[in-house]
A and B are shown apart, each in its own frame.
Chain A
Amino acid sequence: MTDNGLVITTEEDFAEVEVDCLKECHDCTARNLCIGNKQNTGRLSVKNPLHAMPGDEVKIQIPDENYSQALILLFGGLLVAILLGTGGGYLLAVVFSLRSSLASFIGLSTGLAIGGYVLSRIFRRKNKKQLYPVIIDIIKKGDCHGSA
């Protein structure tokens, strides 16, 4: 999905872009609560490989197909972690004659903590490569060019 926006600020390889109300938002009943709020605009952090400057009007590519995969990885991973933890705790309780609810709860909490840690490591790499929107074109140069 692509959308147009205005560069507000830049910092290193990223820019803050104010986008018009996203095209997808027009069909969404939650748009009044969401990023397309009062002024029908939203601010996004986007990768800035073209070195756009504040005031530039840009076209951005939003990797929406990657978001579904990332959500599946995130919640699927957490679910697997908590189920393995609960199952492990339950088995230990059966083997060592412990209270099954306590052992399962400890197993679940441990699984959740380990799963959360592993996923945070995975996402640290994934964020920069796949999940940030990218500026793919500078439609109109702003006033900032040549002033520095």
Chain B
Amino acid sequence: MELVAIFISAVLIQNFVLYYFLGICPFLGVSKKIDSAVSMGLAVTFVMTITAVVSWLINNLILIPHDLGYLQIVSFILVIASLVQLVEMFIRKISPPLYQALGIYLPLITTNCAIMGLALIAALNEYSFVETVIFGFGSGIGFTLAIVLMAGIREQLDLADVPESLKGAGIALIVAGIMALAFNGFIGMLT
């Protein structure tokens, strides 16, 4: 039950984009088409889950036992940078054309502040290993949900009569604000 609560909380209540306002750059930048939003969301979810796992291992097996908590941020930065490099190497190995097509896209989407925020918040909450995996996965699904909803709305907005001065980033930010207000309605769902 505890695991379900952590998952629902990460997806709906403490959504990284709409509650913490982390990862806004890819949220606004890659939310023009639903299929690219889904693929981006899954990439971020994967990196979030793996980051949560590796940062848990480093925090609980190295930093806390040796009283090195002050190195948390530095070590998490290194973890995230290394993981993104590994993901890049993996894609380059198994699919050179996909790697060629992605270019700078992959590091940009998977190295956003939401990943760093996830590692720090998971450490702050003192989750167990399995709870950390569920928290990382749930946070990624929450990010995916937010970006796919945004992409759906933006696809509809292309057909709408938006005032000239609000076209592009302006209307996207207004929509993001309204979505954040709507997601605030989930607060209190779990007590």
Contacts and interface: CB of A to CB of B under 8 A. Distances in A.
A82 B54 CA distance: 13
A126 B97 CA distance: 10
Interface residues on B, range: 35 or more
Contacts of A83: 133, 137
A53 interface: no
B95 A75 contact: no
Interface in A92-148: 100-101, 104-105, 108, 116, 119-120, 123-124, 126-127, 131-133
Contacts of B39: 67-69, 71-72, 75
A131 B94 CA distance: 12
B126 to A, nearest CB: 13
Contacts, number: 99
B135 to A, nearest CB: 12
A44 interface: yes
Interface residues on A, range: 35 or more
A33 B104 contact: yes
A79 B42 contact: yes
Contacts of B103: 34-35, 42
B128 A101 contact: yes
Contacts of B130: 86, 90, 100-101, 104
Contact of A75 (B45, B97, B104, B128): B45
Contact of B108 (A30, A90, A108, A119): A30
B46 interface: yes
A72 B91 CA distance: 13
Interface of B: 29, 33, 35-36, 38-40, 42-43, 45-46, 49-50, 53, 57, 90-91, 93-98, 100-105, 108, 128-130, 133, 137
